[in-house]
Structure 1
Amino acid sequence: MIEVIRAETAGFCMGVDLALNKLDSLIEREEAAPIYILGPIIHNPQVLEDYSQKGVITAESPDEVPAKAHVIIRAHGVPKQVETSLRERGVHVIDATCPKVKKAQLLIKRNTEDGRILLLYGEDSHPEVKGLLSYAPSGTFLFDSLEELKEVKLDKNKKYCLAAQTTQDRMIYDEATQFLQDQGYDFTALQTICDATRQRQEEALAIADKVDHMIVVGGRISGNTRRLVQVVEGQGTKCTHVEVEEELPLDELRKCKRIGLTAGASTPKRLVDSIQKILEDL
């Protein structure tokens, strides 16, 4: 019989729960229709499809949201100027930005108002990153690895502020901090990586050490889900990233004695439950 070890941290995080609760509450108010979300409210295709069936409209651009309509600001947040322009046009804005992301935005704003240049560890295409960058008025550099940071031409005569996308790898962030210290740069390091992300990664690593194969469930566009796959593979454990149960490599998994199971922060419990049942029935 195959043993399945499921992570306690698998599934929705606090920020996702709060965002979806706000959207659910708005849907219950019939007079609020039509309801828009500015980009995917969370990075999970199955959840987004459920809300689409309920009549929620996903706008790819702020210009697609008409005046007087209700719009939910996604859990990842939006650039500061986007929210300002929506309010100026008379759009009813409900801010569902994750509190950890909002804290990171305000920390960056507070620590770059004195002219410090932001050094942000994050993914160029990620919506959270675009929002964080908008809170640094004195200039920004974005890097996705320690190697990229080392290639940035920094000036010893200028001051910097180091921060990270909330779902990034804390180990790499610590290495970036150490590099800047060793080079003698004048910088302030902010603690913006979410504790829930760190705990999820640490638990995944602990489980990966005990199993033959690790399954990570979550959306392909979910940054924190992809990061889970990276940290597990970095430890040398075989890992498969799936969005839905049909993607499970069942023939390969049948050869295992122990399988680990975890999920990204925007993965609904029902998906994790169904995949766990399939694994246990192998």
Structure 2
Amino acid sequence: MKLLRAETAGFCMGVDLALKKLAALIVPPKGPQRTGQATALLTFGPIIHNPQVLAEYAAKGVGVVNDPADIPAGATVVIRAHGIPEPVRREIASRGARIVDATCPKVKKAQTLISAQATQSKVLLLFGEADHPEVKGLLSYATAGAHVFDSMEELERMDLGEGPTYFLAAQTTQDEMEFMRIRDFLKKRFGPGLTVLSTICNATMNRQQEAMDLAAAVDFMVVVGGRESGNTRRLAQVARTAGTPCVHVETADELSPDMVAGKRIIGLTAGASTPKKIIDSVQQALEAF
């Protein structure tokens, strides 16, 4: 058996930055402590979508809250990498909390671009998962209205009136190929003047392209990452769309020799919130098989 590991597997820039910001708050700074330093360290929602990483930070005393009402006065609250709705941010501030913004810069850029279009009274057409925290945050900036869809089929079923002026954007971890198909469909409907925002991040596109290339060169794919991670699920989807059998696992414990029995070449990739040590352990397990 031969194993091919994707070069892009593992943490993206946004995840790495978010975790570094959180880690810096756990380790006391050198020198005199500042007076009035917050005693509670919380993240608003899971800082990233990886249960193993979250468990590690929980063991270090980092709490997770999902409702501003649960934030004690004086707490330090780290905004998750996916971002949060703007009204929620204001409510957290009103609780007297210290806010540390760990929103991914790519998500922050998408928020800014959407806000700029909304101020022109344009209605957002957003390609994304309605229940995803990033999408909920992006929608809060679409003050003139928005429609969310997660597939071309769902978009085609929507009753979009001709009155509003629309603009198109995507969740930063969406499928680039599908987004271009949606873009072309909407330009035919609303004309070439439709504003299209480039909000899918380069890290996502690079990972998806490498997964596609890898899937074409192997006879089985293993994708590693949290099951709540949208970008990880889409890597598995990309491999399956290419016609390559694929399994999505969170840890090496989920693998078995039967999964790879008879496979000649196995491809290994991982989502943007998967730690290197977990990818390494999966690789070691596969090589042991």
TM tier relative to shorter chain: over 0.9
- The match for 1:12 is 11
Question: Which of these residues, 235, 238, 261, is aligned with residue 242 of structure 2?
Answer: 235
Partner of residue 226, structure 1: 233
Tell me how far apart the structure 1 counterparts of residues 135 and 287 of structure 2 sit (CA, whole Å). Answer: 38
CA distance in 1, matches of 2:85, 2:240: 33
1:182 positional shift: 1.0
Alignment of 1:277 onto 2:284: yes
Percent identity of paired positions between Structure 1 and Structure 2:
54
Deviation at 1:156, TM superposition (A): 2.0
CA offset at residue 33 of structure 1? 2.9
Measured in 2, the distance between the counterparts of 1:179 and 1:24 equals 44
SS at match of 1:23: helix
Q: Among residues 37, 44, 51, which one is paired with 1:45 in the alignment?
A: 51
2:265 aligned with 1:258, yes or no?
yes
Match of 2:139 in 1: 133
The residue type paired with residue 203 of structure 1 is E
Q: Look up the match of 1:144.
A: 150
1:205 maps to 2:215: no
User: Partners in 2 of 1:33 and 1:232 — Cα distance?
Assistant: 45
CA-atom RMSD, angstroms? 1.1
SS in 1 for 2:78: strand
Q: Displacement of 1:102 after TM fit?
A: 0.2
Aligned length: 281
User: Contact 2:3/2:265 (CA < 8 Å) preserved in 1?
Assistant: yes
TM-score normalised by the chain length of structure 2? 0.95
What does residue 79 of structure 1 align with? 85
Q: 1:217 aligns with which of 217, 224, 241?
A: 224
Offset from partner CA, 1:96-141 (integer Å, 9 cap, x none)? 0000000000000001111100100000110000000000110010
Q: Which amino acid aligns with 1:39?
A: G
For 2:273 and 2:14, the matched residues in 1 are separated by 9
After superposition, what is the alpha-carbon deviation per residue over 1:79-107, rounded to whole angstroms, capped at 9, x for unaligned? 00111111122110000000000000000
1:237-270, Cα deviation, whole Å (9 max, x unpaired) = 0000000111113213131111000000000000
Deviation of 1:181 (Å): 1.1
Q: Distance in 2 between matches of 1:157 and 1:45?
A: 45
Structure 1: distance between partners of 2:71 and 2:190: 47
1:98 aligned onto 2:98: no
4+ residue stretches of structure 1 with deviation over 6 A? none
Q: SS at the partner of 1:106? A: helix
Secondary structure at 1:209 match in 2: helix
- Report the CA distance between 1:174 and its aligned residue: 0.8
SS of residue paired to 1:273: helix
Q: Contact conserved, 1:120 with 1:140, CA < 8 A, in 2?
A: yes
Task: Tell me, yes or no, if the aligned pair for 1:211 and 1:259 is still in contact at 8 Å.
Answer: yes
151-160 or 52-61, which moves further after superposition?
151-160
User: CA separation in 2, counterparts of 1:113 and 1:149?
Assistant: 24
Q: Is the 8 A contact 1:26 1:32 kept in 2?
A: no
Q: Does 1:21 align with 2:20?
A: yes
What displacement does 1:32 show?
A: 3.7
Please report the TM-score for the alignment, with normalisation by the length of structure 1: 0.97
Flag structure 2 segments of 5+ consecutive residues without an equivalent.
none
